Structure 1
Amino acid sequence: MSQQIEINIPELLRKGVILWIFFASLTVIGLITSVFKVPADSQGVILRFGKFEKTVGPGLRFKLPFGIDEHEIIVTEGVRTAQFGILGSIADSSQSFNPLSLGERNPSTRERSLQRSIMTGDLNLLEVEWIVQYQISNPRDWLFEVKDPQGTLSDLTEAIVRTVVGDRTFDEVITIGRLDIAQETRDRLQDAVKKYKLGIRISEVQFKNINPPSPVQASFNEVNQAEQEKGRMINEAKGSYDQQTIRASGTAQQKISEAIGYATKRVNEALGDISKFNAMFIEYQKAPEVTTSRLYWERMKEVIPKMGKRIIIDEETSQILPLLQLNQVENGGVK
């Protein structure tokens, strides 16, 4: 038969054991509920009876125990991403949300199509997909100033994008204006979230895809290809024009240089002839007969070799032809 154990509660109370156990448990619970850790990329928000008390930085932090103070950990260093008009999700986003999927709603394809359908300033429809990257800069405003900060951010972003795109033409949005639209959207959105005290800082706005509606996509592609072909042919024509212009300019410059060289040569030759004539005239003045004779024989020396074979006889000589046998020529001489 097992031995019965009797507990004498008054004896325990008299010795204070239960009281010590109570205070020890209370101390442990107080320590557990008063200490919390804030990660390095976050800030802690302490609430006292549900009311904002203060914000604390990373590290081991303390608060009033037993539920008097509560805390919320808000990531402030990580970049969050809001998707708009994108049917899938962004794989490289650590924290992202689709504005249409907030709350208990299950967005339909029609709702997503309506969000991405935006009209331009020249009354053309576009299907636009974009994302907004932001960081929480003020945890207090993020938690308490607006009831639904993500929903508010969604409404503000969509309204601003529709306004910015609506101020531009179809061609501008689809081609060269994408970066300007993204920058203007970011600036306007930053001003709006500051005005509404959302407690966030807009890092970047990126437009992923901007396309015409699906029913006219094929026609648009054909027009786009035609425009590209037109641009290519214009560039080729300009290149050929520039090439021919450069070649013609080089040829013209060469002709001009040759003409200048020829003119310089002729002038120098003329100057040389003048100097030669002046020197000869000086010699002629000193000895006219000698100079005249010398000039005559120098000229004859130049002229006679060019005349070919010639026989010079006295005009009174007769019957010389039978003796010379002029028709027999051998090795360039007369036999």
Structure 2
Amino acid sequence: MFEENYKFQYYLYLFQKHFRKVLLGLFLLILILTSVKTIGPEEEGVVLYVGQYNRTVEPGLSFILPFGIERMYKIPVQRQLKQEFGFRTANTGNNTRYSSENFADESLMLTGDLNLANVEWVVQYRIVNSYYYLFRVRDAEKALHDMSESAMRKIVGDRTVNEVLTVGRQEVATSVEVLLQKMCEEYENGIRIDQVVLQDVNPPEPVKPSFNAVNQAQQERETLINQAEADYNRIIPRARGEADETVQLAEAYALTRINGATGEADRFTSLYQEYAKAPEVTKKRIYLETMERILPKIGTKVIVDERGNNVLPLLNLDQQQPKSNP
């Protein structure tokens, strides 16, 4: 009992002796923790003095007034942020996992032709003005979430369900991006929209099989159209080439015939002109040339006079004599 009282008195003595040092150490620790701030390379610090904006601090080591006199908010102005709609990413990496919760209240929306579509999308954005981000809009993140959902519902509501599900997806994303950026500028929330990406667009589960059947039929139709266009592009040029070839052959044949007829006409004209100059001589020459062409084609030849009295059976007309060079 005496030993326990002695130890207690001893510890109490040590505490009283070093109380000021302990108190000073705690004071210095709190001072350092509340006055020394480190700002990352992708951030900037917004300093409030007694709840009022005072200054903006660049990345690096900074000092502020301790004990809550000044407070600092670190804003990631150089980092791309994102908000997800209709789904949530639970874990990123090699095997991305998504939350199993149901977010149909923000993704299920009505199209322009009064059909339902389950639209999942991502808004990628950056904070470009930390002052506007903190003080112009209360809870800028939630405001951006509400604006994104409102913009998407407006754009989807102006289009048919087929446009949203198929060919109009990129146009929807671009239109939402433009509209959302315009809303951010009107609200002056200090946010710039980098991109809006439609993650997935599906019909509601009860009618999903019917929509899939319609999409399959449309794809088959497009396939048949593409095949028909391919056949058209293969057959029509070949037929045109064959037609052009036939036309060219006909033109060549016509040109040959015309040139031949022209030559024959010129020959006849030349012959007639010679005949007009010396009719008897020309007649005799034509006769002899004609007989020269005809007689070699006849078989056995017998020459008689007009009355048939004189016969020349020994005249050798079967053999063609070689033409002598002039």
Aligned residue in 2 for 1:204: 195
Q: Which SS does the other structure have where 1:309 is aligned? A: coil
2:147 maps to 1:156: yes
Distance in 2 between residues matched to 1:295 and 1:252, nearest whole Å = 46
Q: Where in structure 2 are the equivalents of 1:1-335 lying within 5 Å?
A: 33-89=34-90, 91=92, 109=102, 112-306=103-297, 308-312=298-302, 314=304
CA distance in 2, matches of 1:209, 1:223: 18
Structure 1 residues 28 and 227 mapped into 2: Cα distance closer, same or farther (>3 Å)?
Answer: closer
Relative to structure 1, the CA distance from residue 20 to residue 228 in structure 2 (aligned partners, 3 Å threshold; closer, same or farther) is closer
Residues 264-292 of structure 1: CA distance to partner in whole angstroms, max 9, x if unpaired? 21222222223222322333234322322
The normalised TM-score by structure 2 is 0.78
1:161-182 CA-partner distances (Å, limit 9, x unpaired): 1110000011111122111111
**How many Å separate the matches in 2 of 1:90 and 1:303?**
107
Question: What secondary structure, in the 3-state scheme, does the structure 2 residue paired with 1:168 have?
Answer: coil
- For the residues of structure 2 that align with 1:223 and 1:288, how far apart are their CA atoms? 94
Which residue of structure 2 lines up, in the alignment, with residue 95 of structure 1?
none
Find the counterpart in structure 2 of residue 10 from structure 1. none
Alpha-carbon distance, 1:189 to partner: 1.0
- Give the C-alpha shift of residue 219 in structure 1: 2.2
Count, aligned residues: 294
Q: Distance in 1 between matches of 2:21 and 2:108?
A: 70
Check 1:284–1:251 CA distance in 2 against 1; reply closer, same or farther (3 A cut).
Answer: same
Match of 2:36, as an amino acid? V
The sequence identity of aligned pairs, in percent, is 38
**SS state of the match for residue 215, structure 2?**
helix
- Distance, in Å, in 1 between the alignment partners of 2:160 and 2:167 is 11
Structure 1 residue 310 displacement after superposition: 4.3
Corresponding letter in the other structure for 1:53: N
Distance 2:127 2:54 in 1: 18
- Distance in 2, Cα, partners of 1:35 & 1:229: 66
| Alignment correspondent of 1:328 | none
Aligned mates of 2:165, 2:26 — CA distance in 1: 68
SS at match of 1:153: helix
Task: Render the CA deviation track for 1:304-332: whole Å, top value 9, x for unaligned.
Answer: 444x52443548669x9xx9xxxxxxxxx
1:204-236, CA deviations, whole angstroms, 9 ceiling, x for partnerless residues? 100011111122222222222222112211222
Structure-2 change in CA distance of 1:155 and 1:186 (3 Å): same
Measured in 2, the distance between the counterparts of 1:27 and 1:239 equals 82
Unaligned runs of 5+ in 1: 6-17, 93-97, 102-106, 324-335
Q: What is the rounded CA distance, in whole Å, between the counterparts of 1:80 and 1:20 in structure 2?
A: 46
- Give the secondary-structure state (helix, strand or coil) at the position aligned to 1:241: helix
Shift of 1:258: 1.4
User: Residue 33 of structure 1: CA displacement?
Assistant: 4.2
Aligned-partner SS, 2:37:
strand
Name the aligned partner's letter for residue 46 of structure 1. Answer: V
**Residues 25 and 245 from structure 1, CA distance in 2 versus in 1: closer, same or farther, beyond 3 angstroms?**
closer
Gaps of 5+ in 2: 1-9, 11-18, 314-326
- CA deviation string 1:88-108 (max 9, x = no partner): 44726xxxxx9xx9xxxxx95
Q: What RMSD over aligned residues (CA atoms) do the two structures have, in Å?
A: 3.4
The 1:128–1:24 alpha-carbon spacing in structure 2 relative to 1, beyond 3 Å, is: closer
Letter in 1 for 2:196: V
